[in-house]
Amino acid sequence: MTLRRSALAGLAIAALLVAIGATATLHAADEAPATPPAHNHDEPVIESQSWSFNGPFGTFDRAQLQRGYRVYHDVCSTCHSMRLLSYRNLGETGGPEFPKDAVEALAAQAEMTDGPNDKGEMFKRPGRPSDRFRQPFPNPETARVANNGALPPDLSVMAKAREGGPDYIHALLTGYRDPPAGFKPAPGMHYNKAFPGHQIAMPPLLSDGVVTYTDGTKPTVDNYARDVAAYLMWTAEPKLEERHKLGLRVMVFLIAFAVIMYLAKRAVWARMHGHAAPTA
């Protein structure tokens, strides 16, 4: 009996610990260190940021995603593709939720190559919401030629493809510094304290005021980095809000069901009395 009890307790504690652990992992980002850790030039420094989408109830901040899209569109999209996204996604639930006409206008800004037409020729037309995001380069080779031999990676799932996710993106975009004494980046490379190896081909393109914000948010590099990182988290995980919402319902259901099951189990096993063979 005691062993069974302790096994049950063990199972319950294990479930609880993992639940706490998972939540803590998600919450860890909320607890930004009060003082930045000592700067070591060998180890990239990724500071945790506070994100609205952290935690089991986290949601995206619509205004932030809209600003983030603006930063992506005005700055990043000059070199970085986002081939998994379509303009229609910008209006979908759980994302930036641009109004329908805004989505159409944003799509129409992009000049798309379509075709071939009935004369066998490719032609240009304004983008439609169903189009994938316009790609800056027709092929990787062109991208390399235009970028000093480096290939700007696609950003669709970038926030899940790097250790630290949005924290890393924020740290990278705000991590440009003058190289420390004795550190000579290779020609065309830039020093960045967050990038592994500290030499990155991407030049620092963000500076205060390069992107116009219309909602009163301060147009600073830190805000640009934060907003575009949140936006990239959405592009990588567009169903995050739906997932959190469904998760809550499933949790409530499972916990209620488990309580009922436990009581039912107790009731059934209470039929066992003494040494006699029990009945069904």
Q: Site for another protein (CB under 8 A): which residue of 45, 75, 157, 205?
A: 157
- Nearer to another protein among residue 30 and residue 242 (C-beta): 242
CB of 166 to another protein, least distance (A): 12
Q: Is 40 in the site for another protein (CB under 8 A)?
A: no
Alpha-carbon gap, residue 230 to 173, rounded angstroms: 13
Separation of CA 63 from chain center: 16
Q: Select the residue interacting with another protein from 25, 59, 142, 148 (CB under 8 A).
A: 25
Q: What angle do CA 206, 208, 213 make, to 5 degrees?
A: 100
CB of 67 to another protein, least distance (A): 22
Distance from C-alpha of 136 to C-alpha of 102, rounded to nearest angstrom: 22
Using CB under 8 A as the binding criterion, the count of chain residues that bind another protein stands at 55
Of the candidates 42, 101, 163, 215, which one interacts with another protein according to CB under 8 A? 163
Site for another protein in 179-238 (CB under 8 A): 236, 238
Q: Does 23 bind another protein (CB under 8 A)?
A: yes
* Residues numbered 253-272 forming contacts with another protein, rule: CB under 8 A: 254-255, 257-258, 261-262, 264-265, 268-269, 272
- As a whole number of angstroms, the distance between CA 15 and CA 21 comes to 10
- How many angstroms separate the CA atoms of 18 and 12, rounded? 10
What sections of the chain are H helices per DSSP? 2-28, 62-74, 100-109, 140-146, 158-161, 165-173, 221-236, 240-269
Toward another protein, which CB reaches closer, 212 or 279?
279
User: CB of residue 224 vs another protein: minimum separation in angstroms?
Assistant: 23
Would residue 117 be called left, alpha or beta, if left means φ above 0 and alpha means ψ between -120 and 50 degrees?
A: beta
Would you say 32 or 272 has its CB closer to another protein?
272
Instruction: Name the residue among 179, 224, 178, 172 with its Cα closest to residue 194.
Output: 172
At position 39, the amino acid (one-letter code) is H
With respect to another protein, which residue has the nearer C-beta, 201 or 221?
Answer: 201
Contact residues: another protein, CB under 8 A: 1, 3-4, 7-8, 10-12, 14-15, 18-19, 22-23, 25-26, 56, 84, 89, 153, 156-157, 160-163, 165, 236, 238-239, 242-244, 246-247, 250-251, 254-255, 257-258, 261-262, 264-265, 268-269, 272, 274-280
